[in-house]
Chain A
Amino acid sequence: MRNTAADKQPIFNRRNLFGATAAGLAASSLAACATSGSDDEGGEVTVGEDAENPFGVDPKAPLDVVIFDGGFGNEYAVAHQEIYKRAFPDAEITHLATQAIAETQQPRFAEGKPADVLDNSGAQQIPMDALVGDGELAELTPLLDAPSYDDPELTVRDTLREGVLEAGTFNGKVFALNYVFNAWTIWYDAKLFRDQGWTPPTTWDEMIALCPTIKAAGIAPWTYAGQHPVYLYDMFLMLAGRHGGVQVLKDIDNLKAGAWEHESVALAAEAMHSIGASGFLLEGSAGIDHIQSQTAFNNNEAAFLPCGSWLPNEQKAIAPADFEYAPMGVPALAGSVQPGLISAGGDEPFVVPKNATNLAGAYEYLRIMLSKEGSQIFGDTVQAATVVKGVALDNEAAKMTDALVSNPDDMFQPQFRYWYTKMNEEVRPALGQLINAESTPEEFLQRMQAVADETAADDTIEKFTHED
């Protein structure tokens, strides 16, 4: 909802109806030309000396914030805006919370009048590769180099957990602040495992050996959100990365020739295939969505579920009271050289459009989000960790996840899905076919290598690479 004063005035009283209509027609017929927007060059923002207001925010300038109104809601954003208001009481803040990010915000980019702060998240996010490729986003370097909100001695960058900027980094430049800390793990019910006397497997072979026992107890070993095979993405890639080391995954992201033909990738594909081929999937998994798979998991119909860190909090009110959400890394294949590798880092990308009217205010808003108070607000309202160090969370699953991500060298977020929409569109159905044994591992690898080669050969696609 937009909370501007203009909305509260009656626009259509009799006297101004005609005038408003005529003006509206004139204004929107200009706007209707989607391609007619002006190309204002936004001003540059530099970091000044003043630790209170390092970006030189104009205290009267309005701020336009757009929040993805998904699993995290938008309550936390309203609280952040109150902090902003505290510093700049004269600033008018427009707050829009919506799930339709692309539908509402893409036209504004096209017009050259984007929001100041945009939480570009959810199923309807505007593709990051397109935004970065078009040069529509402002680099976040000034923000990262600015003194932090709480301690002028530290820069904002110093206050962040390690490895969390990776996801928003494109060719070495940070274009998105991924605000929420997330790790992709395999979840299981610790109570169920304790009651049944099962040990959570750490290796793939242990897991495969345990599956018949699980089945004998009348429980399917695995389930996943079949309608959204993207939930398998990190599980599959971590299997490969753990076996061959992180470089295998970097090669895939960097579109290196033959990256998908690497032995570790092939073994991971075979492992995924074996789950479906051995009948270790809950019947019907391919036909259900994430809510159904999570419900089945909560009811102990399946023992393992691949998902992100947000899951236990999201299921808190839904899962049975004695259900103990516990995360583990994907069981590593025999001979894994980096068995601790985990897909973890920032999620929920906040971006600042280059043509934002109040660029300085946008940086300041993000700085507030990254303050101790700001991130604690987020932690308290949604029980999820932010990318800021040292925010205390009072739940067991979060502590267990923290133990899994303790080594920064083992944290890596595969990126090709975000860098190349085309590969994203290919890997999802391909993984779905693979785990259901509808396609063979060889077909899967050929298919992915083909789309990687195609992407690499296409000059119209902007390429990104990992540093080092």
Chain B
Amino acid sequence: MKHGRYPFILSFLALPVGLYAWLVILPFAQAFQISLTDWSGSSNSFEYIGFDNYANLFKDERLVLPALRHTGIILVVLPLVTIALGLFFAFMLNLGGRVRRGRIEGVRGARFHKVVYFFPQVLSVAIIGILWKQVYAPENFGGLITGALTAVGLPAPVNGFLADTRFVLAAVIGVLVWSAVGFYLVFFSSAMASIPRDLYEAAVIDGAGRGPMFFRITLPLLWDSVQTAWIYLSIVALDVFVLIYMMTPERGGPDAASEVVGGVIWKYAFNHGEQAFASALGVVLFFAALSLAVVSLRFGRRERIEF
């Protein structure tokens, strides 16, 4: 049986591993190499210039530093808000309703809500971008939110939310949360479904309210899922690009108020013809993502409860 097993397995692995090495690992490795050169991207001549690109990265107050700041903000706010909302909604849909015949139920129409919340996940990001660009538009150009604010007599930014340096980043984060929350609702819901009901029923008998039930039972038992969600969302946060590209003025404006790392890499690579500088920023992003994953897995580790 054992005879010839490895060649057999290897023959299956060769193609996927080969493709992976060629299409993923090789480009990564090349980004490292390119980041040490002065390559423009539109020529086949370049010189090695050591770590100059990396040194210059942190001096670039026009694009790179604002981008790092904004990506940092997204990195904190997006997972926090999305997970909080996802958990809250999931809890309400599964356990937020009344207790009937000794069983805890979700709020009315829970199934319907689940489907509705999931809708944004089905839309492509491009559509979401176009949709929300209109929602945020200036009032006399059909903006929904600005129009609603003015209708109830509240002040609204004259040029819409996306053209205002104060609001643009928050507006984009809002869309990110809106589009992600449905998925995490379903994700946490299914995780909650695997928590034995008798734990809750025991808690109800002991007189626990919704709050203690959530914090003492649900959250600890969901910790693994929360951690996974956190890593996913962090990666999403580091990769934010399409919405900025689709929605904001000058793809990161106004006046660099919504530049993010992904967008700045694109700008340097294709608008500025500084492929090497863009690669250096890409390498920094790569290590940021890597260390983020390692750190959150290390420090997030807790005792696992078997049930």
A positions within 8 Å CB-CB of B: 25, 29, 32-35, 37-39, 102-103, 106, 109-112, 124, 126-127, 129-131, 133-136, 226-229, 282-288, 292, 296, 421-422, 425-426, 428-430, 432-433, 436, 438, 460
The answer, yes or no, to whether B176 is at the interface (CB within 8 Å) is no
Chain-A contact segment, one of B117-125, B156-164, B295-303: B156-164
B256 CB contacts on chain A under 8 angstroms? 429
Report if A124-B270 is in contact (Cβ < 8 Å); known contacts: A136-B43, A287-B163, A429-B253.
yes
Report if A39-B44 is in contact (Cβ < 8 Å); known contacts: A25-B22, A284-B158.
yes
CB pair A130–B42 under 8 Å, yes or no, is yes
A438 to B158 alpha-carbon distance, docked (Å): 13
B11 CB contacts on chain A under 8 angstroms? none
CB pair B250–A288 under 8 Å, yes or no, is no
CB pair B62–A425 under 8 Å, yes or no, is yes
B positions within 8 Å CB-CB of A: 18, 22-23, 26-27, 30, 33-34, 37-46, 62-63, 137-141, 143, 158-160, 162-165, 249-250, 253-256, 267, 270-274
- Known pairs A110-B42, A283-B140. 9 more at Cβ < 8 A? A32-B26, A33-B30, A35-B37, A110-B41, A228-B249, A283-B139, A283-B158, A283-B159, A432-B255
* Sample of 12 A–B contacts (CB below 8 Å): A32-B23, A35-B44, A110-B44, A131-B273, A228-B249, A284-B158, A288-B141, A421-B271, A428-B250, A430-B255, A432-B249, A433-B255
Of the candidates B39, B139, B254, which one forms a contact with A286 in the assembled complex, judged by CB atoms under 8 Å apart? B254
In the complex, the chain B residue whose C-beta lies closest to that of A282 is: B140
> What distance in Å separates the Cβ of A366 from its nearest Cβ neighbour in chain B?
20
Of the candidates B22, B160, B270, which one forms a contact with A103 in the assembled complex, judged by CB atoms under 8 Å apart? B270
CB pair B44–A32 under 8 Å, yes or no, is no
A135 to B40 alpha-carbon distance, docked (Å): 11
Report if A226-B34 is in contact (Cβ < 8 Å); known contacts: A111-B44, A284-B138, A429-B254.
no
> What distance in Å separates the Cβ of B20 from its nearest Cβ neighbour in chain A?
13
CB pair A287–B159 under 8 Å, yes or no, is yes
Report if A130-B40 is in contact (Cβ < 8 Å); known contacts: A226-B163, A284-B140, A433-B255.
yes
B249 CB contacts on chain A under 8 angstroms? 226-228, 286-287, 432
B158 CB contacts on chain A under 8 angstroms? 283-284, 286
> What distance in Å separates the Cβ of A403 from its nearest Cβ neighbour in chain B?
34
A32 to B255 alpha-carbon distance, docked (Å): 36
In the complex, the chain A residue whose C-beta lies closest to that of B157 is: A287
CB pair B271–A283 under 8 Å, yes or no, is no
A106 CB contacts on chain B under 8 angstroms? 41-42, 270
CB pair A227–B163 under 8 Å, yes or no, is yes
B274 CB contacts on chain A under 8 angstroms? 130
A438 to B257 alpha-carbon distance, docked (Å): 13
A39 CB contacts on chain B under 8 angstroms? 44-45
A426 to B63 alpha-carbon distance, docked (Å): 10
Report if A284-B139 is in contact (Cβ < 8 Å); known contacts: A103-B270, A127-B273.
yes
Report if A109-B30 is in contact (Cβ < 8 Å); known contacts: A32-B22, A288-B141.
no
A32 CB contacts on chain B under 8 angstroms? 22-23, 26-27
A127 to B277 alpha-carbon distance, docked (Å): 15
A38 to B44 alpha-carbon distance, docked (Å): 7
CB pair B137–A130 under 8 Å, yes or no, is no
CB pair A129–B140 under 8 Å, yes or no, is no
A284 CB contacts on chain B under 8 angstroms? 137-141, 143, 158-160
A35 to B40 alpha-carbon distance, docked (Å): 11
In the complex, the chain B residue whose C-beta lies closest to that of A432 is: B254
Report if A422-B272 is in contact (Cβ < 8 Å); known contacts: A131-B42, A226-B249, A287-B160.
yes
> What distance in Å separates the Cβ of A459 from its nearest Cβ neighbour in chain B?
12
A126 CB contacts on chain B under 8 angstroms? 42, 273
A133 CB contacts on chain B under 8 angstroms? 40
In the complex, the chain A residue whose C-beta lies closest to that of B41 is: A106
Report if A35-B159 is in contact (Cβ < 8 Å); known contacts: A127-B272, A429-B256.
no
CB pair B271–A29 under 8 Å, yes or no, is no
In the complex, the chain B residue whose C-beta lies closest to that of A424 is: B271
CB pair B22–A29 under 8 Å, yes or no, is yes
A133 to B63 alpha-carbon distance, docked (Å): 23
A285 to B140 alpha-carbon distance, docked (Å): 10
Report if A35-B250 is in contact (Cβ < 8 Å); known contacts: A29-B22, A226-B163, A284-B160.
no
Nearest 4 Cβ contacts at the A-B interface? A130-B273, A284-B138, A287-B163, A134-B43
A126 to B34 alpha-carbon distance, docked (Å): 19
A37 to B253 alpha-carbon distance, docked (Å): 36
A124 CB contacts on chain B under 8 angstroms? 270
